[in-house]
């Protein structure tokens, strides 16, 4: 009986904590609606490639599928071996993928949305300019490197090919003065301990903002999703978004 009672108590606590954890991690409550009750939609269909980060797969970007689809975008998921190749090689591979996508549907604009490492290789891939590429959105990008990569490169370097490239020791993978080949927007996460806001800066970006959230979960938030859509449509983030 005592074991049953203890199990019941644990279940009750878990049921109570689950909604709190979801709100805390995802952060979709009490967020402003940029559309003021009107869904932002494209006049005609456009494509957007979503690019995941380090140690992830294409499934990590699924929170963006529904809002992008509802806005009229056709979502294309890109998967790549994030630990096995250098940032330069990953960028070249993504560039070829984008070129192939444009060749299949040359009349439809193609945009790119990348998270973390995926955000870095999205700029690498679209620089120099690729005809047919529209806009690029970077989410939590370690443009100037990550302090964690700097600390761990000596230990993890032999097994993770990208870790040295992501170090902030020598200016990062997209150092100061980098000019992206496409109109690029940067979203930093306020509570990002892996990539602090100052290391997300991209000198040639069209717009840069910072929003509530952590490195991993910032794009799960409604406000972030709305800002991504706003940038893809308008080439800038909303007027009241906090600028970096």
Break the chain into its structural domains and give their ranges.
Answer: 46-234
Share of the chain above pLDDT 70, in %: 83
Window from 2-6, 68-72, 145-149, 201-205 with minimum mean pLDDT: 2-6
């980098």: which residue's tokens?
178
Query: What backbone phi and psi angles, to 5 degrees, belong to 137?
Result: -115, 125
Quick one: 46-234 is in which CATH superfamily? Alpha/Beta hydrolase fold, catalytic domain (3.40.50.1820)
Percent of the chain's residues with pLDDT above 90: 71
Mean pLDDT within 61-86: 96
- How does the average pLDDT of the chain come out, rounded? 85
- The whole-number pLDDT of residue 168 equals 84
Q: pLDDT confidence of 227, banded at 50, 70, 90?
A: very high
| Lowest-pLDDT choice from 12-21, 63-72, 98-107, 183-192 | 12-21
Task: Select the more confidently predicted residue: 30 or 88.
Answer: 88
Distance, CA of 102 to chain centre: 21
pLDDT at 159 over 70: yes
């Amino acid at each position: 009986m005592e074991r049953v009672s203890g199990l019941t108590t644990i279940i009750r606590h878990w049921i109570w904590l689950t909604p709190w954890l979801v709100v805390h991690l995802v952060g979709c409550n009490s967020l402003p609606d940029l559309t003021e009750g009107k869904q932002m939609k494209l006049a005609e269909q456009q494509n957007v490639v979503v690019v995941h980060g380090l140690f992830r797969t294409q499934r990590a970007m699924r929170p963006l599928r529904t809002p992008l689809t509802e806005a009229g975008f056709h979502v294309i998921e890109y998967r790549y071996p994030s630990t096995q190749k250098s940032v330069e090689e990953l960028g070249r591979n993504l560039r070829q993928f984008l070129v192939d996508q444009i060749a299949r549907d040359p009349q439809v604009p193609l945009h790119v949305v990348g998270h973390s490492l995926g955000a870095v290789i999205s700029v690498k891939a679209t620089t120099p300019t690729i005809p047919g590429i529209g806009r690029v959105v970077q989410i939590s990008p370690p443009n100037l490197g990550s302090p964690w990569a700097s600390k761990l490169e000596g230990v993890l370097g032999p097994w993770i090919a990208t870790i040295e490239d992501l170090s902030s020791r020598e200016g990062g993978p997209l150092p100061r003065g980098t000019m992206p080949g496409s109109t690029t927007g940067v979203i930093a996460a306020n509570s990002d301990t892996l990539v602090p806001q100052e290391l997300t800066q991209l000198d040639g970006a069209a717009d840069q903002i910072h929003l509530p959230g952590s490195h991993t979960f910032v794009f799960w938030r409604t406000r972030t999703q709305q800002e991504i859509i706003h940038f893809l449509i308008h080439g800038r983030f909303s007027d009241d978004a906090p600028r970096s």
